[in-house]
């Protein structure tokens, strides 16, 4: 059975990240490494987890010219990551270059290509913030447009807020991965922290999420493994 829970290792140091991964290994589906931990500790933390057999989602949201993104995705592939992401706003050519690079690098190094997924509109943006950047269409329409563009580029899926998940699922079909953060309540700790639009683990999966990114409800719990197992039991069926 595929474990849908991806734990955000939002910690400062390699030691803390490895400690959490050791505590959680076997109870979750993978670990997300974001720009904070990666910038502080570098690629060795990715290698360390990959060498232990963990699935690593490298959440660096690449957004650059196609050649630069392609070479970055190739480098991530060689590190052994299982999932990597780019900004869909980088465009069709950039996303196609990312996918091709993942497959070419995997073939050259006899590895499995990572899933390449796209960020649509950052969930920290609202309609007014989007407008300030010159995008004047409805925010949800922009999310769906970018999700469809990612699909056209043959990417494996998108990152989406819980409230976007159902619309993307119905627009992009069953084979498209939707990775959903903002998980609170139900089997997860209810404290919202700085998340505004949240959904319980079971509701997010019912709305069509393929994977749930969960940080603080697991990593800040008194017993992270117990918290992870409780959430996993609510969604992995
Ligand atoms: O602690 P929490 O469960 O809120 O962590 C969620 C993780 O997902 C964090 O790493 C956060 O940066 C990330 N994320 C998010 N909302 C998005 C995209 C990513 O919370 N829209």
* 192 has a pLDDT exceeding 90: no
Within 13 Å and on the Cβ side, how many CA atoms surround 48? 15
Distance of alpha carbon 14 from alpha carbon 38, whole angstroms: 9
With 80 as the cut, is the pLDDT of residue 1 above it?
no
pLDDT of 177 > 60? The answer is: yes
Measured from the CA of 216, which atom of ligand 1 is nearest? Answer: 1
Residue with CA closest to ligand 1 atom 2: 215
Ligand 1 lined by 148 (C-beta under 6 Å): no
For 66, the token pair is 């196609």
Lowest mean pLDDT among 7-16, 128-137, 192-201, 226-235: 192-201
Confidence grade of residue 13 (pLDDT, cut at 50, 70, 90): very high
Whether 195 has a pLDDT exceeding 90, the answer reads: no
Predicted local distance difference test score (pLDDT) of residue 71: 98
Question: Would you tell me how many other CB atoms lie within 10 Å of the CB of residue 97?
Answer: 22
User: How confident is the model at residue 140, as a pLDDT?
Assistant: 96
- Name the closest-CA residue to atom 10, ligand 1: 8
Catalytic residues: 61
The crossing angle, in degrees rounded to 10, of helices 92-108 and 66-79 is: 30
Distance from Cα 213 to the centre of ligand 1, integer Å: 7
pLDDT over 90 percentage in the chain: 92
**pLDDT for 69:** 99
């Amino acid at each position: 059975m595929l474990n849908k829970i991806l734990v955000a290792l939002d910690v400062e140091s390699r030691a803390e990240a490895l400690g959490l991964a050791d505590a959680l290994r076997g109870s979750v589906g993978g670990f997300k490494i974001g720009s904070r931990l990666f910038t502080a500790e570098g690629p060795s933390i990715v290698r360390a987890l990959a060498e232990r057999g963990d699935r690593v989602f490298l959440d660096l949201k690449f957004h650059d010219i196609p050649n630069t993104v392609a070479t970055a995705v190739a480098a991530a592939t060689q590190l052994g990551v299982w999932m990597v992401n780019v900004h869909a706003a980088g465009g069709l050519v950039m996303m196609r270059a990312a996918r091709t690079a993942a497959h070419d690098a995997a073939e050259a190094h006899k590895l499995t290509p990572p899933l390449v997924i796209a960020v649509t509109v950052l969930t920290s943006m609202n309609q007014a913030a989007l407008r300030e950047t010159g995008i004047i269409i409805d925010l949800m329409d922009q999310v769906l447009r970018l999700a469809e563009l990612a699909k056209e580029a043959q990417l494996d899926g998108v990152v989406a807020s819980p409230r976007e998940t159902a619309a993307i699922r119905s627009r992009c079909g069953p084979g498209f991965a939707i990775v959903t953060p903002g998980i609170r309540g139900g089997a997860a700790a209810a404290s919202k922290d700085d998340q505004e639009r949240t959904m319980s683990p079971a509701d997010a999966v019912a709305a069509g999420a393929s994977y749930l990114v969960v940080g603080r409800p697991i990593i800040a719990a008194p017993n992270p493994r117990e918290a992870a197992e409780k959430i996993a039991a609510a969604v992995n069926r």
